[in-house]
Chain A
């Protein structure tokens, strides 16, 4: 019995001594850090998405305080926290524009022509190096979902062989734009309500051969609203941030359906079998 009591006593003393030792070392050898770094790390989203280009939220907070980097590099942080961070840093950073990623392609399995059965690594970048995947279009979405896997927020859905960004989830960190080997994902103002969902620079007939949903550059939309749509070669782009009403889209009635409102684009592939 004495053994047990002695052991309990010895361990209690050991714990006490070691605890005091840790406490002493922590005080004696404490490293002075700017308290703002911790405060800002708390305010950042903590997803460590790396969209700002730093190793994580804590690293970005350190860079903000020590190197004077602007807090605007974090696209994810909420407006309220962004203002708090600006205050902590003593700067007035104004309001930011919310950006979301858009995949400029509508060539899902129902529209794009398959020219090959791709059976390699399940990764767009690997497919792009090899032969460009199974679809015929050299510019469109390969559909193997590298962007969806890179998204920290689960905002990209792979729908019937086409990556679709859900703008209400997207935080605009821009990670997918870097991953996509075709560079067809771009960050645009969240205010833009419609896009020409095509990225192909091929001539109309060549494009048509590979995909029934590509922009043929018929210029129907350009004629209807020349201040919004702009044809560059064989591809039309809607001006970023332009107000495009559903009536305008309906009146243009794009022959291939490349011009779509964001809401329609999200709806279009639903119900079909997903390829994810």
Chain B
């Protein structure tokens, strides 16, 4: 494996193809949880965590169940060359949602400290499109399981980076005099657009 492939995955996911600012996925939490840096940090951590485990599971599922031709027989009923690839999105979203629920319960039981930090954000991202998007992009580009997991974690880091930058901008906006027509969500969307423009500067950094 060429050594710069890892660089492509990590830098590509965090900066160049940032999941929020370049792929425009996960806008709902990006606008919803970006009013304060403190909540943005919690949300960012939760997204990194969830995207990592979701990418790992969905990559395993895709590798062994969805991308191969299945042959099996139940009694006299034989199925050959069954390709379940088209159910990808459905399977991914159901599995991710269930996974996050289970992880949340386990966290609450075994790691109350981590649950206290991430707990309230986990249900928010159970069926988030950024998480599903990372899984989907992994499947499309045919990455291996390890690469997929790294890509998921790095996408989460990209999300956290964008969210924290945006939250710090919004904290400043809170105190500035904004024309009435632009107050609230509209100035937030304009700011997000300018931030996305700034991230365009990273394009071409890695192939």
Q: What residues make up the interface of A, taking CB atoms closer than 8 Å to B?
A: 2-3, 6-7, 10-11, 14-15, 18-19, 21-22, 25-26, 29-31, 121-123, 126
Contacts and interface: CB of A to CB of B under 8 A. Distances in A.
Interface of B: 79, 82-84, 86-87, 90-91, 94-95, 98, 101-102, 105-106, 108-110, 175-177
Contacts of A3: 82-83, 86
Contacts of A14: 91, 94-95
Given A7-B84, A14-B91, A21-B102, 5 more contacts: A7-B87, A11-B91, A22-B105, A25-B101, A122-B176
Contacts of B98: 18-19, 21-22
A143 to B, nearest CB: 15
Contact of B101 (A10, A22, A30, A123): A22
A25 B175 CA distance: 46
A29 B115 CA distance: 14
A112 to B, nearest CB: 21
Chain A contact residues: over half helix, strand or loop, or mixed? Answer: helix
Contacts of A26: 105
B80 to A, nearest CB: 10
Contacts of B83: 3
Contacts of B86: 3, 7
Contacts of A11: 87, 90-91, 94
Contacts of B90: 11
B109 A31 contact: yes
B109 A10 contact: no
Given A18-B95, A29-B109, A10 B175 contact: no
Nearest to B79: A6
Contacts of A25: 101-102, 105-106
A2 B94 contact: no
